[in-house]
Amino acid sequence: MSLTNQRVTYGQALIDLGRENNDIVVLDADLGSSTMGRMFENEFPKRHIEVGIAEANMTSIGAGLALVGKVPFVNSFAVFASGRAFDQIRQSIAIGNVNVKIVGSSAGLSDFGDGATHQSVEDIAIMRSLPNITVLSPCDPNEAYQATIAAAKHKGPVYLRINRIDCPNVTKVDAPFVIGQPVVMKEGSDVAVLATGYMVRLALEAAQSLEGKVSVKVVNMHTIKPLCREKLLAAIGGCKAVVTAEEHSVIGGLGSAVAEALRSSPLPMEFVGINDVFGRSAHNYAELLEYFGLTSGSIEQAVLKLKA
């Protein structure tokens, strides 16, 4: 299976968007060669804005650009895009429903070497707490491309979470991407695993491994917000229990969002996620996921716990 990268397909999507829409502009704060804003810059140098190492300024500049009709994509690492510029997002963008796309790159633990300062365990929680913002978390490079296109077409602020790791695709290159629509990746009738981002692939592995023991359904939650209870229940279908899986803190992330949406439903739940701790450095991504229990094995255990 060939490996690709969400950052690269994101960059390609920016170029494709830029070709059809002159109003697409891309901003970077000295991380363009990592966020792949550089790909757009090489193609459309006049529509790429380097703001220097100043994420707060970049985010408000994005608001100004949107207010004169541009469709700005504001790039940084997820931890800075959502954290350092939180007040700018809240005040200049979310309150006014301003059409800025905030792209959190190197999200989760995917910047494995840089440690806690550069790894985002809370970006989903803080972004989805803001009214008016749509939160997208694609599961693979193909879907990152589709999510970028969908973000551009959506009118209003979007937070797009991008992983930096080379990985195989689990979705088809032309799979439709509808904001807010959970996608059933594998049918099953006992336990539904609702996963987002990189964890979708691990959920599929867990389902396969449990084949014959438990019938596991896998649902790709590429949209964290908006999260519609009816669509969620429809995706879960007849399953009798739910596991959520995310590369994010269990506080405020996908698990919380699902629990909020399913409130007063009788479905028992388990969360697979980071247990209220910061990340840390490691020499590779797999080692780090293992350390924090973000594995197909953890998902299997959670499924079996609910099945017992």
Partner 1 sequence: MVFDKEVAGRLEDKANALRKNVVMSVGVNYPGHIGGSFSAADIMAALYFHKMKHDPKNRYMPDRDRLVLSKGHIAILQYAALAEAGYFPMEDLAKTKQLSSFLQGHPDLIKSGEYGVEAGTGSLGQGLSIGVGMAYGLRMDGIFCKVYVILGDGELAEGQVWEAAMAANTFGLDNLVAIVDKNDKQAQGAVKDRFDLGGIPEKWKAFGWHVIEINGHDMADVLKGLYGADKFKGKGLDIAEAHPAGMHNASLTKEQYDQAMATFGGRA
Footprint of partner 1 on 28-67 (CB under 8 A): 46-47, 49, 51-52, 54, 56-57, 59-67
Report the nearest approach of partner 1 to the CB of residue 89 (Å).
11
Orientation angle between helical segments 6-20 and 141-153, nearest 10 degrees: 30
Return d(Cα 7, Cα 61) in angstroms, integer.
23
Which residue, 115 or 156, is less far from partner 1 as judged by CB? Answer: 156
The one catalytic residue among 20, 50, 55, 247: 55
98/232 with CB nearer partner 1: 98
Residue 44 or residue 229: which is nearer to partner 1 going by CB? 44
- 143 included as an active-site residue: no
**For 186, which DSSP code?**
E
Q: Give the residue with the Cβ less far from partner 1, 55 or 300.
A: 55
Q: How far is the CB of 87 from partner 1 (least distance, A)?
A: 6
Mention every residue, 6+ apart, whose C-beta is less than 8 A from residue 205. Answer: 296
The whole-angstrom separation of Cα 162 and Cα 148 is 10
How many CA within 13 A on the CB side of residue 62? 39
Q: Which is nearer to partner 1, 100 or 202 (CB)?
A: 100
Strand pairing class (191-195; 216-220): parallel
Output the smallest distance, CB 84 to partner 1, in A: 11
3-state DSSP helix/strand/coil percent for the chain, to nearest 5?
40, 20, 40
- Report CA torsion sign: 271, 277, 278, 283: negative
Q: How far is the CB of 134 from partner 1 (least distance, A)?
A: 16
Question: Considering the rule CB under 8 A, would residue 68 count as an interface residue with partner 1?
Answer: yes
Does residue 22 contact residue 152 with C-beta atoms inside 8 Å?
no
Q: Is 13 left (phi over 0), alpha (psi -120 to 50) or beta?
A: alpha
Residues 85 to 124 in contact with partner 1, rule: CB under 8 A? 87-88, 90-92, 95-98
Helical axes 229-236 vs 254-261, angle rounded to 10°: 100
Applying CB under 8 A, does 21 fall inside the site for partner 1?
no
Least Å distance, CB 45 to partner 1, is 12
Give the one residue of 45, 69, 212, 266 binding partner 1; rule: CB under 8 A: 69
Residue numbers of the site for partner 1 (CB under 8 A)?
25, 46-47, 49, 51-52, 54, 56-57, 59-70, 72, 87-88, 90-92, 95-98
Catalytically annotated residues: 55
